[in-house]
Amino acid sequence: MMYSQQEYDMVRRQTMQIEAEKRALLRWTLIVVTILFAFALVLSGLMYQRYSTAEGRIEEADTRATTAEAKLQEVSKELDDKKKILEANSATRAKQDSVIQNVVPKMLNRTASDSELGELAHAAFNQPGHVIQLPSIPPNEVLRSYRYRGEGRPLKYTFVPGLIDGKWVVYSLLVKNQDDK
């Protein structure tokens, strides 16, 4: 069987067309793979950048956490110290309040001793404003100076009466401190 020239040309054209389609498909495949490769490369670069910055952030966060823990310990220690001071002050305040509650009635009845009045003067001096309120007028016999030995040193206080808003008060003034020479 013999083929004519026309059939040869037709087979050649079909083969060339099939080859052209294969090349076009390969070209598009290569373009798509190249674009995907470039995208994967860019994505890998971004992921590495985020990884490296995340590592820096983690180190920074660890540093800040360590600093915060150190500050927390320091502040906790200061808070404990302040609580101890506050407890000591509240104990002192309670003692002073009990002295005031016990000695003021004796002072008004003129039965308090000089040592008790010295304690009262010291307790009144440590009150806010160096004043205590009285239920009635203080007797004239107690409005004088009293010595008190506190904290290992002698102190001298003087009582001064006053009438504020219709209520009697007595001020305790520190007249002499042994440290003031």
DSSP label at residue 133: E
Tokens in use for 107?
């002072």
pLDDT score at 28: 97
d(CA 67, CA 50): 25
**How high does pLDDT run on average in the chain?**
88
- To the nearest whole percent, how much of the chain has pLDDT over 90? 35
Task: Identify whether the C-beta of residue 107 lies closer than 8 Å to the C-beta of residue 120.
Answer: yes
pLDDT in tens, 81-121: 999 999 888 888 888 888 888 888 888 888 888 888 888 88
As beta bridge partners, residue 153 has: 150
List phi, psi (to 5°) of 63. -65, -45
Best-predicted range by mean pLDDT among 46-55, 58-67, 91-100? 58-67
How far separated are the first and last CA of the chain, in Å rounded?
143
Q: List strand residue ranges (DSSP E) for the chain, in order.
A: 131-134, 145-150, 153-164, 167-177
Q: Does residue 152 carry a pLDDT above 80?
A: no
pLDDT score at 26: 96
For residue 142, which of 124, 154, 129 has the smallest C-alpha distance?
124
Q: Does residue 1 carry a pLDDT above 90?
A: no
pLDDT score at 38: 97
d(CA 171, CA 150): 19
pLDDT score at 154: 85
Check residues 69 and 155 and name the one with the higher pLDDT.
69
Grade residue 14 by pLDDT with cuts at 50, 70 and 90: very high
Check residues 150 and 74 and name the one with the higher pLDDT.
74
As beta bridge partners, residue 164 has: 167
Q: Does residue 170 carry a pLDDT above 60?
A: yes
Q: Does residue 181 carry a pLDDT above 60?
A: no
Tokens in use for 47?
């992921």
Grade residue 179 by pLDDT with cuts at 50, 70 and 90: low
